[in-house]
């Protein structure tokens, strides 16, 4: 069976990669291609795609395609926007899976707009899906911002006076190759708690960088992309969407995308698990820069770790988040993080949005044997505290990482395993 994505210009679409992974998972011998159609040829859509069983639709045709379909159902009918078409007999049926994808993105990031003020930047087709989902999730208020607002929208000057929970960018501003632009600046972002950009290339847009520098929780659109694609397969194959399949394909796609984009590699794990040593060796192997986040913080604050903890752990954690917000703007770095960096969900979100997060796991017995407790403020010179801290954090390490690598043998052995997981990028 044959499927495709149609659009005006699709030089960098990831849709084939996603659907290829789906077909491989289910052992299906199906084909998925890219079909670029100029606006003057859209009226010939059935003729052009006569041998297709289904297709995805992207900009600028999500609304323009509707007159050529036999039926539009569900969310697509309510929104007046179609991104998935399935051929049922001799009929073409239109659906919208962007709504499912955006809801999945919010859920996986534990972003809950219920009872809260939300704002959507942009008024195009994607904006409609995002607004629809936020209202379905019972947001207190959903404001749509446009450069040319209608009577139900606001403009960017009005946005400056509003504050709330979630700000979502649905505009193409900041998308590759124009990566140095953001639809709004820090003055606007400082009024919000969570920033989502449905753009996924780059994974850490200027919009998200600015938001992270202010301590906002951030998320990009890559999970949405995968989820909406898998939902399309539900209509084509008549099977139920399985979140585990979405997660599996997302992890593979994220791995490949991080590798091709030279995104950072973040090593997380307990104090004494070998992050600093492994980071240096891995960076040398990959020809990457190595960054020790604790040293980065010391340089920024002009204080030692001990001096910061004397002021208070909260002081250190704020400094840690501020330092990480700078680090995530870089590329080609292996970052050895502090053991407690994962205690703040904002930090985890930043790392995941800007690279591969690797849990460097080491047996507690080995850490207790080797760790110099005298230099660790949280241990107070007592090795028995290591197990207590690990038990408090292990579930966070597990949920925060993209992959886990054991470091219980030699450095060389650990590096070899790491290279297999993150890919030899040289």
Question: What is the secondary structure of 205-220 as a DSSP string?
Answer: -HHHHHHHHTT-EEE-
Same domain? 87 vs 137: no
| pLDDT per position as a tens digit, 162-174 | 999 999 999 999 9
| pLDDT per position as a tens digit, 284-301 | 999 999 999 999 999 999
| pLDDT per position as a tens digit, 22-73 | 999 999 999 999 999 999 999 888 888 889 999 999 888 999 999 999 999 9
Instruction: Reply yes or no on whether the pLDDT at 362 is more than 90.
Output: yes
pLDDT on residue 382:
46
Residue 377's pLDDT band (boundaries 50, 70, 90)? low
Which candidate, 165, 166, 148, 167, places its Cα nearest to that of 156? 148
Same domain? 178 vs 242: no
CATH of residue 330's domain is: 3.40.50.300
Same domain? 280 vs 367: yes
- Model-level pTM greater than 0.85? yes
Q: Which of 48-62, 93-107, 342-356 has the lowest mean pLDDT?
A: 48-62
Q: How many domains does the chain have?
A: 3
| pLDDT per position as a tens digit, 294-338 | 999 999 999 999 999 999 999 999 999 999 999 999 999 999 999
pLDDT on residue 380:
58
Same domain? 36 vs 105: no
The backbone torsions φ and ψ at residue 192, rounded to the nearest 5 degrees and listed phi first, read -130, 165
Percent of the chain with pLDDT over 90: 82
What tokens appear for 405 in the block?
Answer: 């690598």
Q: Which of 204, 238, 254 is the last residue of a domain?
A: 254
Q: Which of 163, 197, 220 is the last residue of a domain?
A: 220
Buried b / exposed e over 376-402, threshold 16 CB at 10 Å, is beebeeebeebeebbeebeebbeebbb
pLDDT on residue 11:
85
| pLDDT per position as a tens digit, 396-409 | 999 999 999 999 99
Instruction: Reply yes or no on whether the pLDDT at 116 is more than 60.
Output: yes
Mean pLDDT score of the chain: 93
Same domain? 56 vs 7: yes
Q: Which of 203, 234, 254 is the last residue of a domain?
A: 254
Distance between CA atoms of 323 and 325, rounded to whole angstroms? 5
pLDDT on residue 102:
98
Same domain? 206 vs 325: no
To the query of whether residue 186 is one of the catalytic residues in this protein, the response is no
Buried b / exposed e over 409-418, threshold 16 CB at 10 Å, is eeeeebbebb
Same domain? 280 vs 233: no
What tokens appear for 145 in the block?
Answer: 């911002």
Same domain? 135 vs 66: no
Give the residue numbers spanning the domain of 373: 262-422
Those residues with Cβ within 8 angstroms of residue 132's Cβ, 6 or more apart along the chain or in another chain: 75, 78, 79, 99
Percent of the chain with pLDDT over 70: 96
Instruction: Reply yes or no on whether the pLDDT at 137 is more than 80.
Output: yes
Same domain? 208 vs 178: yes
Residue 283's pLDDT band (boundaries 50, 70, 90)? very high
Same domain? 139 vs 59: no
CATH of residue 190's domain is: 3.40.50.720
pLDDT on residue 49:
82
CATH of residue 87's domain is: 3.40.50.10860
pLDDT on residue 370:
73
Same domain? 187 vs 303: no
CA 141 and chain centroid, separation: 25
Same domain? 250 vs 136: no
Of 2, 8, 62, 260, the catalytic one is 62
């Amino acid at each position: 069976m044959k499927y495709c994505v149609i659009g005006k210009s699709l030089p960098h679409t990831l849709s084939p990669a996603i659907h290829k992974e789906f077909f491989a998972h289910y052992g299906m011998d199906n084909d998925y291609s890219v079909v670029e159609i100029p606006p003057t040829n859209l009226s010939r859509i059935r003729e052009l795609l006569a041998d297709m069983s289904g297709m995805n639709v992207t900009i600028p045709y999500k609304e323009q395609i509707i007159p050529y379909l036999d039926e539009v159902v569900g969310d697509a009918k309510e929104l007046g926007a179609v991104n998935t078409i399935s051929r049922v007999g001799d009929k073409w049926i239109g659906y919208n899976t962007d709504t499912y994808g955006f809801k999945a993105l919010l859920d996986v990031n534990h972003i809950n707009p219920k009872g809260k003020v939300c704002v959507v930047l942009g008024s195009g087709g994607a904006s409609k899906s995002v607004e629809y989902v936020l209202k379905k999730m019972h947001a207190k208020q959903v404001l749509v911002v446009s450069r040319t607002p209608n009577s139900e929208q606001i403009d960017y000057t009005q946005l400056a006076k509003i504050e709330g929970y979630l700000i979502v960018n649905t505009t193409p501003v900041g998308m590759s190759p124009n990566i140095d632009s953001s639809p709004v600046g820090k003055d606007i972002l400082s009024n919000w708690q969570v920033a989502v950009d449905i753009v996924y290339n780059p994974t850490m847009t200027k919009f998200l960088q600015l938001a992270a520098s202010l301590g906002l929780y951030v998320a990009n659109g890559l999970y949405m992309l995968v989820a909406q694609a898998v939902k399309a397969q539900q209509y084509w194959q008549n099977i139920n969407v399985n979140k585990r399949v979405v997660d599996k394909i997302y992890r593979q796609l994220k791995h490949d995308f991080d590798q091709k984009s030279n995104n950072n590699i973040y090593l997380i794990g307990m104090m004494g698990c070998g992050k600093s040593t492994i980071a240096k060796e891995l960076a040398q192997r990959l020809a990457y820069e190595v960054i020790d986040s604790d040293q980065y913080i010391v340089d920024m604050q002009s204080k030692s770790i001990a001096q910061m903890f004397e002021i208070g752990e909260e002081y250190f954690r704020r400094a840690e988040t501020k330092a990480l917000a700078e680090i995530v703007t870089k590329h080609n770095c292996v970052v050895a993080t502090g053991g407690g960096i994962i205690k703040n969900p904002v930090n985890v979100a930043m790392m995941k949005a800007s690279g591969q997060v690797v849990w460097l796991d080491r047996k507690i017995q080995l850490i207790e044997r080797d760790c110099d407790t005298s230099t660790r403020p949280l241990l107070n010179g007592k090795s028995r505290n290591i197990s207590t801290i690990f038990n408090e954090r292990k579930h966070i390490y597990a949920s925060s990482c993209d992959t886990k690598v054991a470091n219980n043998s030699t450095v060389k052995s650990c590096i070899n395993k790491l290279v297999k997981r993150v890919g030899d990028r040289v």
